[in-house]
Structure 1
């Protein structure tokens, strides 16, 4: 579980043809590398049905994240898994991180990633104001919470944690009140890309 605190998040994205081996590699990272990764707060990773890989790694500071990047254990682990990816693997970093709801939970039964681009960051601060959070808590009990990571170029990576895939699909059909819809419509005016959603069918939730 993680809550409201300032973090540095590294968003790793790539493509793989072997989700099962990457899941095994993530378990190995948790056993062998994580105990020596000072400042690591947790990770949310997984692979979509069509092979898109995400891993959001949370650290208590950029210094801790960069220290892990340079560590021998991290380098050895990466050398062992690099050939599981097809093409380029990107790493984006953010210290502009907001959580909503109850944040994340290692008990989540379904995880969804979204990617979009913000034209006016200050106009959507916070991403989910208190009134909207109260509405979500009341009408979407399937949604545990989540976080938004805004990168320096305006790209936004969001992650939402749900109790289960079935509950999330049912929740998506919930009729939201007019004031909530009005807030969403106003907020979307400050984005210049349609959000792309990624369902992590195979995923891992790790904490120290």
Structure 2
């Protein structure tokens, strides 16, 4: 799986949402290798789009379509300053992945000292996490070669997510997580209080 992260300071949130819906309805059905995406705007106006494709090659072929370029020029006009892109070949989903059913999504960005170790940690069975934190539906992780990463965590609701944050973890899980946190730096937490989604399998929703 390949993930592209799109970010920028948004000055017209309603138009961004409308254009996202338009893309889903008019170009999504023919977008080669498109799997879905998670989208939202933070309280301070930062748009985040985490878009999943089968491969980098499929995403690149889609980006060369004239209609894609014309659509993006309209989308770009909704932003102040540059829109940034991060392309990640090292990408995965955990638990139920980028769920269209989430009521709240937290995006975590930062850098890990050892990308391979981080991925190995996240690939472990998560039965214990699912049992202890049932409000976590799933999520995605995209890692660049230099260790920069973007993680999305989909929750059933923000209220449940906040309650889960203060739930004590079992000692072994706590120690393992603290070890991972110690290897992270430059962390940012971007809360998407009103996320929207789309998926290739569910055209009625944009994941």
Deviates more, 1:101-110 or 1:54-63: 101-110
TM-score by length of 2: 0.92
Q: CA RMSD in A?
A: 1.3
Deviation track 1:161-184 (CA, whole Å, cap 9, x = no partner) reads 111111111111111111111001
**Is 1:195 matched up with 2:161?**
no
Q: CA deviation at 1:127?
A: 3.5
In the alignment, the residues of structure 2 paired with residue 179 and residue 194 of structure 1 have an alpha-carbon distance, to the nearest angstrom, of 25
- Which structure 2 residue ranges, 5 or more long, are not aligned? 201-207
Q: CA deviation at 1:194?
A: 4.2
The 8 Å contact of residues 102 and 146 in structure 1, kept in 2 or not, is answered as yes
**141, 149, 160: which one aligns with 2:153:** 160
Correspondence for 1:10: 4
Higher strand share: 2
In the alignment, the residues of structure 2 paired with residue 35 and residue 109 of structure 1 have an alpha-carbon distance, to the nearest angstrom, of 25
In the alignment, the residues of structure 2 paired with residue 74 and residue 134 of structure 1 have an alpha-carbon distance, to the nearest angstrom, of 40
Q: CA deviation at 1:153?
A: 2.5
- Which segments of structure 1 move beyond 6 Å, counting only runs of 4 or more? none
The 8 Å contact of residues 110 and 162 in structure 1, kept in 2 or not, is answered as yes
- Which structure 1 residue ranges, 5 or more long, are not aligned? 1-6
Aligned pairs, number: 200
Correspondence for 2:171: 178
Q: CA deviation at 1:74?
A: 0.8
The 8 Å contact of residues 99 and 137 in structure 2, kept in 1 or not, is answered as yes
- Decide whether aligned partners of structure 1 residues 130 and 122 sit closer, same or farther in structure 2, where only a CA change above 3 A counts: closer
TM-score by length of 1: 0.91
Deviation track 1:39-88 (CA, whole Å, cap 9, x = no partner) reads 10001111001101111111111111001111112111111121100111
Deviation track 1:129-158 (CA, whole Å, cap 9, x = no partner) reads 535x22211110100111110012221000
In the alignment, the residues of structure 1 paired with residue 11 and residue 73 of structure 2 have an alpha-carbon distance, to the nearest angstrom, of 17
Correspondence for 2:91: 97
Note the 1:1-208 alignment, pairs <5 A.
Answer: 7-130=1-124, 133-191=126-184, 193-208=185-200
